[in-house]
Amino acid sequence: AQKITQTQPGMFVQEKEAVTLDCTYDTSDPSYGLFWYKQPSSGEMIFLIYQGSYDQQNATEGRYSLNFQKARKSANLVISASQLGDSAMYFCAMREGNFGNEKLTFGTGTRLTIIP
């Protein structure tokens, strides 16, 4: 089974609208962390937001928020008031276990295009 599933290969959103990018995960480890990264055409991966499995509240970072539904094993990224500069690939990733296992498992990504 895929550890990280992103079912939306591509999305087109009107500028200034909110957008939700889906991510579901699969792990039997009670301790894990979930990440979202943005990859513009220049290639670098830019860290956006992190959610720990024991965090009680959904993570927020500026216009980014993570809709964490633990029972459903989903960690959707919500971008509010989208901007043209948000056009990029977005990857969901997971780190399993406690700090010590540092490697990330990534999904296949969603290409987001913001339409002016």
Partner 1 sequence: GAGVSQSPRYKVAKRGQDVALRCDPISGHVSLFWYQQALGQGPEFLTYFQNEAQLDKSGLPSDRFFAERPEGSVSTLKIQRTQQEDSAVYLCASSLASEGGVYGYTFGSGTRLTVV
In angstroms, the CA 109 to CA 55 distance is 24
Measured from the CB of residue 116, what is the shortest distance to partner 1 in angstroms? 26
Parallel, antiparallel or unpaired: strands 88-96 and 74-79: unpaired
Measured from the CB of residue 108, what is the shortest distance to partner 1 in angstroms? 5
Q: Which two tokens stand for residue 50?
A: 């992190």
Q: How many beta carbons lie within 10 A of that of residue 27, not counting itself?
A: 17
Nearest C-alpha neighbor of 69 from the set 111, 22, 103, 109? 22
Residue 107 binding partner 1, by CB under 8 A? yes
Residue 11 binding partner 1, by CB under 8 A? no
DSSP character at residue 2: -
Within 14-73, which residues bind partner 1 (CB under 8 A)? Answer: 33, 35, 37, 42-48, 50, 52
Within 84-103, which residues bind partner 1 (CB under 8 A)? Answer: 91, 93, 95, 99-100, 102-103
Residues 11 and 18: beta-carbon distance below 8 Å: no
Measured from the CB of residue 59, what is the shortest distance to partner 1 in angstroms? 10
Q: Which residues bind partner 1 (CB under 8 A)?
A: 4, 33, 35, 37, 42-48, 50, 52, 91, 93, 95, 99-100, 102-109
